[in-house]
């Protein structure tokens, strides 16, 4: 008797009720008895020599227990060395000459501060109020040094050096070259070159970061609660930096209030709080406030592309050249991850015979950058899709039509790009239907008279953004499944949720693989004691890598249960539901438990994916722009998407729409602005504007889901996809709307100010009084 599979159904989320009743448990809800609270003193300068930090007065404040500076940590806490940033797989090095270098980050520096917001000291007090009082009394003597903020300036001769032992600020470099690009450029019918800037923004989950470290005198272990996407990585990192065995550390990520990438990084505050709690032998909590979040949680997206595209007279792309300058911020903490994603997602769904891309990633006196939803892809897609539109305009071809002419047809798949992916394997688009994605996106915006809807005085533009996304990167993910009391199965995963609904989707996968109802499954994660190892939730990989690990563990567990059930006289066919009766009978303390039955029914599996599997999408934005005010209204935002097999369509759509809305925020409203001295001028929600419900456009979606041939579940990642397209789609739409004015959109966000400035620059100058006389 085959059962109706749960995979593919919009099962309501099992995690909701607890959260809806206010019974969620986020890090700030963890309150061990006697817990002290921490506040960090942060650098007010982007670059400064630390002359003295005098804490003597602050230490005398009532309620203050301790203050630690870098000097106090010296010899106790190893500087943070981001090993992952050094990784260059040999095939990547061979094909691009890639190299990456890293300088260690002191958890609290003693010599120099290199960005505004870098932690310099920590106060531990009875509560946060008193800790912040004491911050005011710390005397900080800093000698300001010249700072460098802009990534292009960082490469100029004589630029201030972030790391004096380096001869330049270049932290990472690669160059990929395929075909005779110069020759093609010399002979092509049309060549368009532009410089586009992807501006800096921040993920800004509504829950900021937080850490609670709690020493256990019973066994000497340290329990660290952190709002992290990667508890196992944090455990191992802390073990190295604190010089203790990972086995003495227990890291838990409870409910996490949004991640989007930044919570996958490892931070000095996590290290400092863990050390301080051990040193004081008492629980210590630090909860980041929002202004700290803007300064000290990783940023993303800042790249400058000098890009050129050559095409023939029919608009067929012949060659692409791009020089990318990427801003790492003050430290190169993740190496190739973001900069290399920009290479392997630049060309996207087009066939281009000759490609030449150079990457220069630099360190500057700004906040550290790291993956933010899309992680190098939105930046590359912005540059590529903008230059595609510039070519379309030059040739007088409709931008949608031009994209269809150049899209790789399904018959050419699997398609080898000639590049090596970040995991060291050859880049191959495994599955998808790019022309159909384009057709669907175009269809979704073709059913209305937009000029009429926009009304008089406003110009209408339609902009597209097409992209592919490698998803489900390795190296592995782990899962275990165990029969527990009550005829239930506990599934433990290495990739926990920050809102993605893994308890539901991974539960659906587990229930199908086992042949039991969803109610019989309990998914746990975010806990290094729940499962020995795990990689974490990032890079659109949980469903692909974690999901297949769950399916594998549960299939193995099913086999064990079937065998045990046979011993009890239950015959279970291959397609039969798993009978819960024998499972209950097999629990250890059941008095009726048959002699000789296995004491534990448990399966553990690691899933090692092969090359990534390709999701894809085409966004189409329709905007009305008022050239007199610069105001942009999105009349409709359409998304055609390929996410492979959707495990839970409602959750899948939630990811796509949510990601798209984040992208829209970046395209229209959000920007982290540093001044020339490296002061962040947008460190509150009053200055950094997140979109609200009032900014939500009318959405239309279409699925062109092609099941992945690369993994047993046929799934593709979809956490990041929505955020990849909006910057490009909206910039293209706004430029299209203002085509009559001849504007070129070279960066976002497209605030009324910026749009108005673009229009004004094309208008004849208003004669001044002097000129008219």
Binding site for another protein (CB under 8 A): 12-13, 15-17, 19-26, 28-29, 31, 62-63, 129, 203-208, 255-258, 260, 289-290, 444, 498-501, 638, 650-651, 653-654, 657-662, 684-686, 690, 692-694, 696, 698-703
Nearer to another protein, 256 or 273 (CB): 256
Q: Which pair of structure tokens corresponds to residue 56?
A: 């003597």
> What one-character DSSP code corresponds to residue 715?
B
Least gap, CB of 719 to another protein (angstroms)? 11
Provide the 10 A C-beta neighbour count for residue 305.
Answer: 26
3-class secondary structure, 214 = strand
Least gap, CB of 241 to another protein (angstroms)? 28
Starting at the edge strand that comes first in sequence, how are the strands of the sheet with 477-484 ordered?
A: 521-525, 488-493, 477-484, 602-607
Q: Round to the nearest angstrom and report the end-to-end CA distance of the chain.
A: 94
Q: Which pair of structure tokens corresponds to residue 436?
A: 């159909």
Provide the 10 A C-beta neighbour count for residue 618.
Answer: 31
Q: Which pair of structure tokens corresponds to residue 219?
A: 């066994």
Dist. CA 580–CA 570, nearest whole Å: 11
Least gap, CB of 551 to another protein (angstroms)? 23
Least gap, CB of 722 to another protein (angstroms)? 8
Dist. CA 529–CA 635, nearest whole Å: 49
Nearer to another protein, 126 or 312 (CB): 126
Provide the 10 A C-beta neighbour count for residue 412.
Answer: 12
Least gap, CB of 665 to another protein (angstroms)? 9
Range 359-396 burial, b when 16+ CB lie within 10 A, else e? bbbbbbbbbbbbbbbbbbbbbbbbbbbbbbbbbbbebe
Least gap, CB of 592 to another protein (angstroms)? 32
Least gap, CB of 64 to another protein (angstroms)? 11
Nearer to another protein, 692 or 770 (CB): 692
Nearer to another protein, 226 or 417 (CB): 226
Nearer to another protein, 180 or 289 (CB): 289
Least gap, CB of 658 to another protein (angstroms)? 4
Residues 6+ apart with CB under 8 A from 410: 432, 433, 434, 435, 436
Least gap, CB of 644 to another protein (angstroms)? 18
Nearer to another protein, 392 or 664 (CB): 664
Q: What is the DSSP string of 438-480?
A: HHHHHHHTSSS-HHHHH-TT-EEEEEEEEEEEEE---S-EEEE
Nearer to another protein, 143 or 698 (CB): 698
Nearer to another protein, 153 or 695 (CB): 695
Least gap, CB of 653 to another protein (angstroms)? 8
Nearer to another protein, 514 or 652 (CB): 652
Q: Which helix (H) or strand (E) holds 702?
A: strand 699-703
Nearer to another protein, 109 or 749 (CB): 749
CA atoms within 13 A on the CB side of 505: 29
Dist. CA 16–CA 654, nearest whole Å: 14
Q: What share of the chain is helix, strand, coil (3-state, %, to 5)?
A: 30, 25, 45
> What one-character DSSP code corresponds to residue 544?
I
Q: Counting beta carbons within 10 angstroms of the beta carbon of residue 695, is it exposed (0 to 12), middle (13 to 18) or buried (19 or more)? A: middle
Nearer to another protein, 28 or 379 (CB): 28
What distances in angstroms separate CA 455 from CA 160, 372, 623, 694, one per listed residue? 52, 37, 12, 20
Nearer to another protein, 519 or 698 (CB): 698
Q: Among all chains, which residue has been given the structure tokens 């759509």?
A: 653
Nearer to another protein, 67 or 554 (CB): 67
Dist. CA 685–CA 551, nearest whole Å: 42
Beta strands in 517-574 (DSSP E): 521-525
Nearer to another protein, 62 or 591 (CB): 62
Least gap, CB of 478 to another protein (angstroms)? 23
Collect contacts of 96-99 with beta carbons under 8 A, ≥24 apart: 96/174, 96/175, 96/176, 96/343, 96/420, 97/173, 97/174, 97/175, 98/172, 98/173, 98/174, 98/336, 98/340, 99/172, 99/173, 99/174
Least gap, CB of 490 to another protein (angstroms)? 22
Least gap, CB of 264 to another protein (angstroms)? 15
Least gap, CB of 350 to another protein (angstroms)? 25
Q: Which of 146, 119, 142 is nearest to 676 (CA)?
A: 146
Nearer to another protein, 339 or 547 (CB): 547
Q: Report helix angle 399-406 to 377-395, nearest 10.
A: 110
Least gap, CB of 623 to another protein (angstroms)? 17
Least gap, CB of 663 to another protein (angstroms)? 10
> What one-character DSSP code corresponds to residue 722?
H
Nearer to another protein, 53 or 656 (CB): 656
């Amino acid at each position: 008797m085959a059962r109706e599979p749960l995979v593919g159904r919009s099962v309501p989320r099992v995690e909701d009720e607890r959260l809806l009743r206010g019974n969620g448990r986020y890090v700030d809800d963890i309150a061990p008895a006697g817990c002290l609270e921490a506040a960090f003193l942060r650098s007010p300068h982007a670059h400064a020599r630390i002359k003295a930090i005098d804490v003597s007065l602050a230490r005398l404040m009532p309620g203050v227990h301790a203050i630690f500076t870098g000097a106090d940590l010296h010899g106790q806490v190893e500087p943070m060395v981001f090993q992952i940033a050094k990784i260059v797989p040999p095939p990547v090095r061979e094909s691009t000459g890639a190299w990456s270098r890293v300088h260690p980050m002191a958890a609290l520096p003693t010599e120099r501060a290199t960005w505004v917001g870098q932690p310099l000291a920590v106060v531990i007090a009875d509560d946060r109020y008193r800790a912040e009082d004491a911050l005011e009394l710390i005397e900080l003597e800093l000698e300001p040094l010249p700072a460098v903020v802009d990534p292009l300036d960082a490469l100029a001769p004589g630029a201030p050096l972030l790391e004096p032992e380096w001869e330049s600020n270049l932290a990472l470099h690669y160059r990929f070259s395929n075909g005779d690009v110069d020759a093609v450029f010399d002979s092509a019918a049309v060549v368009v070159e532009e410089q586009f800037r992807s501006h800096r923004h921040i993920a800004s989950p509504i829950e900021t970061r937080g850490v609670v470290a709690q020493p256990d005198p019973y066994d000497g272990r340290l329990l660290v609660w952190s709002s992290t996407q990667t508890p196992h990585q944090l455990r191992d990192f802390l073990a190295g930096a604190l010089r203790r065995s990972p086995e003495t550390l227990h890291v838990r990520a409870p409910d996490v209030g949004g991640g989007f990438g930044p919570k996958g990084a490892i931070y000095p505050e996590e290290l400092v709080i863990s050390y301080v709690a051990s040193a004081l032998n008492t629980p210590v909590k630090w909860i980041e406030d929002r202004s700290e979040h803007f300064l000290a949680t990783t940023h993303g997206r800042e790249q400058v592309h000098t890009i050129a595209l050559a095409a023939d007279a029919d608009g067929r792309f012949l060659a692409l050249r791009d020089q990318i300058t990427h801003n790492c911020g003050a430290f190169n903490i993740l190496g190739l991850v973001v900069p290399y994603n920009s290479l392997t997602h630049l060309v996207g769904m087009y066939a281009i015979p000759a490609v030449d891309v150079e990457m220069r990633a630099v360190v500057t006196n700004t906040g550290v950058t790291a993956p933010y939803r899309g992680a190098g892809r939105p930046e590359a897609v912005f540059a590529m899709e903008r230059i595609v539109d510039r070519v379309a305009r030059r040739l007088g071809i409709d931008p949608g039509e031009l994209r269809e002419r150049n899209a790789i047809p399904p018959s050419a798949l699997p398609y080898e790009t000639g590049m090596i992916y970040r995991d060291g394997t050859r880049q191959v688009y495994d599955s998808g239907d790019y022309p159909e994605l384009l057709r669907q996106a175009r269809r979704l915006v073709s059913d209305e008279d937009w000029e009429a809807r926009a009304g008089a005085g406003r110009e209408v533009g339609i902009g597209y953004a097409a992209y592919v996304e490698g998803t489900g990167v390795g190296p592995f993910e782990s899962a275990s499944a165990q029969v527990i009391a009550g005829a239930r199965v506990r599934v433990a995963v290495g990739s926990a949720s920050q809102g993605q609904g893994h308890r539901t989707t991974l539960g659906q996968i587990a229930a199908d693989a086992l042949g039991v109802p969803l109610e019989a499954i309990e998914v746990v994660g975010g806990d290094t004691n729940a499962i020995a190892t795990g990689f974490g939730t990032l890079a659109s990989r949980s469903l692909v890598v974690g999901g297949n690990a769950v399916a594998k563990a549960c299939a193995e567990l099913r086999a064990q249960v079937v065998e045990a059930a046979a011993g009890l006289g239950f015959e279970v066919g291959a397609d039969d539901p798993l009978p819960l009766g024998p499972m209950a009978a097999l629990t250890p303390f059941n008095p009726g438990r048959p002699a000789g039955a296995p004491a534990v029914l448990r399966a553990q599996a690691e899933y090692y994916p092969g090359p990534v599997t390709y999701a894809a999408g085409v966004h189409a934005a329709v905007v009305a722009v008022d050239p007199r005010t610069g105001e942009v209204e999105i009349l409709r935002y359409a998304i055609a998407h390929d996410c492979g097999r959707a495990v839970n369509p409602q959750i899948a759509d939630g990811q796509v729409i949510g990601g798209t809305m984040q992208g829209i925020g970046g395209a229209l409203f959000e920007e982290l602005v540093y001044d020339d001295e490296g002061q962040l001028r947008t460190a509150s929600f009053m200055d950094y504007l997140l979109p609200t419900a009032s900014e939500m456009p009318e959405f239309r979606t279409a699925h062109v889901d092609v099941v992945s041939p690369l993994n047993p579940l046929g799934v593709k990642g979809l956490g990041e996809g929505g955020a990849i397209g909006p910057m490009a789609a909206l910039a293209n739409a706004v430029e299209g709307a203002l085509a009559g004015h001849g504007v070129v959109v070279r960066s976002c966000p497209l605030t009324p100010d910026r749009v108005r400035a673009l229009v004004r620059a094309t208008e004849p100058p208003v004669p001044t009084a002097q000129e008219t006389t």
